[in-house]
């Protein structure tokens, strides 16, 4: 408490004591009926009143402090966490199962180059998660005329680039497959088929050169399929094949 506040409280109590109360009233009556009162009596009353007023001022602040502490404890109890109950049985947690590896094969897009159109795939690692291979991947390619929607050709599997096998593992190394290749010898766009053990097939030379595609806009649906019923969402686009080995690709809604 500030000193001046304390002094003010003392003066308030002191004034109340020296201007009222039983002793002052009795002294006033005693003097009023003709009895003389010595000066030392007044000084004594004033000194005793000052001492008692100091005590009363201190008691006021003491009571306020105790009341504040009681209110603070009540507020703390109201917001305190409930007591922890003892002897509660908690069943043991089952051990965490290790995360099973999953493939994360993604289509890298379609490349339109001079006289060839290829589509690529790669197994992209996921930071902090185990990744599995996409084994024995094969590509199914369906071609439809854009103008009528009529199916022109479906090949399965399409040929992987630089590989005559019809199955390849899709890992972190990108793999590309042919959607169309232009042959200058007969000025035709063709879809290439990949054959396993093709060298033992008497018709390999004809079939590996592919099947002719029309010089037109085609609706192409490419689906990557692996062993164990693995598959990706089909990739769909418009493949426009033109004269002289010119081509374009537009990805459509999946």
Q: Read off the pLDDT band of 2 (50, 70, 90).
A: low
Q: DSSP character for 92?
A: P
CA distance 57 to 63: 10
pLDDT of residue 22: 62
If asked whether residues 9 and 116 sit together in one domain, one would say no
Q: Looking at residue 202, which CATH number applies to its domain?
A: 2.60.40
Tell me which of 25 and 190 has the higher pLDDT. 190
**Could you tell me if residue 21 is inside a domain?**
yes
**Is 80 exceeded by the pLDDT of residue 191?**
yes
Please state, as a whole number, how many other Cβ atoms lie within 10 Å of the Cβ of residue 59. 12
**Could you tell me if residue 156 is inside a domain?**
yes
Least Cα distance to 154 among 116, 201, 203, 191 occurs for 191
pTM, two decimal places? 0.57
**Could you tell me if residue 59 is inside a domain?**
yes
Across the range 57-69, mean pLDDT stands at 77
If asked whether residues 70 and 125 sit together in one domain, one would say no
Please state, as a whole number, how many other Cβ atoms lie within 10 Å of the Cβ of residue 18. 17
Q: In this structure, are strands 175-183 and 188-191 parallel, antiparallel, or unpaired? A: antiparallel
**Is 60 exceeded by the pLDDT of residue 235?**
yes
**Could you tell me if residue 88 is inside a domain?**
no
Q: Read off the pLDDT band of 118 (50, 70, 90).
A: very high
**Could you tell me if residue 100 is inside a domain?**
no
**Could you tell me if residue 92 is inside a domain?**
no
Question: Is 16 in contact with 9 (CB distance < 8 Å)?
Answer: no
If asked whether residues 65 and 141 sit together in one domain, one would say no
User: Tens of pLDDT along 132-169?
Assistant: 888 888 999 999 999 999 999 999 888 888 655 678 88
**Could you tell me if residue 99 is inside a domain?**
no
Domain with 15 in it: 3-79
If asked whether residues 111 and 226 sit together in one domain, one would say yes
**Is 80 exceeded by the pLDDT of residue 85?**
no
Total tally of structural domains belonging to the chain: 2
Q: Read off the pLDDT band of 122 (50, 70, 90).
A: very high
If asked whether residues 111 and 39 sit together in one domain, one would say no
pLDDT of residue 81: 62
The last residue of a domain, from among 62, 79, 96: 79
Q: Read off the pLDDT band of 26 (50, 70, 90).
A: low
Q: What is the chain's length?
A: 254
The last residue of a domain, from among 22, 45, 79: 79
If asked whether residues 71 and 136 sit together in one domain, one would say no
Q: DSSP character for 216?
A: S
Residue-averaged pLDDT of the chain? 79
**Could you tell me if residue 180 is inside a domain?**
yes
If asked whether residues 243 and 170 sit together in one domain, one would say yes
If asked whether residues 200 and 241 sit together in one domain, one would say yes
If asked whether residues 65 and 134 sit together in one domain, one would say no
pLDDT of residue 197: 46
pLDDT of residue 103: 87
């Amino acid at each position: 408490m500030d000193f001046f506040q304390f002094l003010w409280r003392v003066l308030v109590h002191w004034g109340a004591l020296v201007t009222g109360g039983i002793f002052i009233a009795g002294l006033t009556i005693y003097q009023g009926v003709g009895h003389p009162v010595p000066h030392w009596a007044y000084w004594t009353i004033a000194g005793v009143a000052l001492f008692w007023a100091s005590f009363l001022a201190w008691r006021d602040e003491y009571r306020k402090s105790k009341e504040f502490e009681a209110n603070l404890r009540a507020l703390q109890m109201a917001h305190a966490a409930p007591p922890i109950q003892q002897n509660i049985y908690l069943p043991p947690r089952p051990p965490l199962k290790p995360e099973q590896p999953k493939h994360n094969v993604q289509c890298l897009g379609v490349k339109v180059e001079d006289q060839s159109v290829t589509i690529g795939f790669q197994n992209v690692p996921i930071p902090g998660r185990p990744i599995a291979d996409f084994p024995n991947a094969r590509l199914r390619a369906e071609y439809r005329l854009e103008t009528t929607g009529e199916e022109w050709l479906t090949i399965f599997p399409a040929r992987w680039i630089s590989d005559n096998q019809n199955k390849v593992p899709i890992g972190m190394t990108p793999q590309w497959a042919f959607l169309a290749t232009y042959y200058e010898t007969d000025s035709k766009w063709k879809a290439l088929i990949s054959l396993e053990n093709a060298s033992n097939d008497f018709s390999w030379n004809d079939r590996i050169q592919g099947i002719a595609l029309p010089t037109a806009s085609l609706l192409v649906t490419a689906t990557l399929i692996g062993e164990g019923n693995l598959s990706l969402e089909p990739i769909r686009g418009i493949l426009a094949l033109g004269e002289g080995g010119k081509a374009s690709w537009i990805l459509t809604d999946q």
